[in-house]
Amino acid sequence: MKTMTYSESRARYAEVLNAVTNDREEVVITRAGHEPVVIVSLEDYESLKETAYLADIARNGNEGSANRTRSSTDSRATGRAASTTSTD
């Protein structure tokens, strides 16, 4: 997992995105005074969400919560989820 500052990631944005999508590399972005964030490929993100969905069912035997997780993932995948932009 690669770690870089927000400024460095902005300066090398295309390179960062290529590493994430082509090499399946996770990139941690740090910002002063803020929590770090991780950039992962869409495929890896969907896999993580699916794992959380299955773990929720196994842990609780409750598909209600798991269905909400799947629904939010499906909404994002079909473009129905809202997106936000950062002003940093």
pLDDT tens, position by position, 14-61: 999 999 999 999 999 999 999 999 999 999 999 999 999 999 998 887
Query: Residue 68 has what pLDDT?
Result: 60
44 with 38: CB under 8 angstroms?
Answer: no
Q: Which residue has the higher pLDDT, 85 or 9?
A: 9
Measured CA to CA, the distance from residue 78 to residue 26 in angstroms comes to 24
Asked if the model's pLDDT at residue 7 lies above 90, the reply is yes
pLDDT tens, position by position, 60-87: 876 665 566 566 666 666 666 665 555 5
3-state helix, strand, coil in the chain (%, to 5): 60, 15, 25
Q: Domains of the chain: which residue ranges?
A: 2-40, 43-77
The CATH architecture of the domain made up of 2-40 is 3-Layer(aba) Sandwich (3.40)
